[in-house]
Amino acid sequence: MEIFNNKWIIEITSNSKNKINFNTDTKHVNIDWLDVTYPWEFEKAWILLEVKEYANILFYSFTIDSKHLVIISNDNFELKEEILSFFWDVDVLVIVWSRESAKIFENIEARVVVPYGESKQTFLTTLWQHSEEVPSYKIKLELSDDTSEFINLAE
């Protein structure tokens, strides 16, 4: 799996070349041509997806290339067990970044974190992460269970 940021579109490409596109501006998510921006569960092109609505916000949980990927597009919700149980064993977390999302991250503890948005530099600095911007990032086969890796995608 490889992750790119093309202006307002975060693109996740599977090893079989299927694509998940997340428009950070409109908050729409597509798998290839299929719009998945509403609550449901399904499988397409070897990608499993569950979309859950909580507090009028959609949360996306994908299984892609045997990795668990979660997209959080809004940080304006209260953390309760009801939604935290949705974030089980997260390998890759794509999250809008602000002060509120730091609390969310601390409760999820993903192995790879891909922040986006205008405040992502503030977030990275707050967590003592000074990673260089990269045009893309290929997710490793084996991820550490002990630490989180922060990916600073160039926009």
Tell me the per-residue pLDDT of 52-105, one tens digit each, with 9 for 90 and over: 999 999 999 999 999 999 999 998 888 888 888 888 889 999 998 777 787 888
b/e per residue, 17-26, with b = 16+ CB within 10 A?
ebbbbbebee
pTM score, whole prediction: 0.90
Give the alpha-carbon dihedral of 140, 81, 38, 12, to 10 degrees.
Answer: -10
User: Which CATH topology does 2-153 take?
Assistant: Metallo-beta-lactamase; Chain A (3.60.15)
Instruction: Spell out the domain ranges in the chain.
Output: 2-153
Tell me the per-residue pLDDT of 7-47, one tens digit each, with 9 for 90 and over: 889 999 999 999 999 999 999 999 999 999 999 998 888 89
Q: Cα angle at 24 between 113 and 141, to 5 degrees?
A: 30
Please give the Cα distance from 113 to 106 (Å, whole number). 11
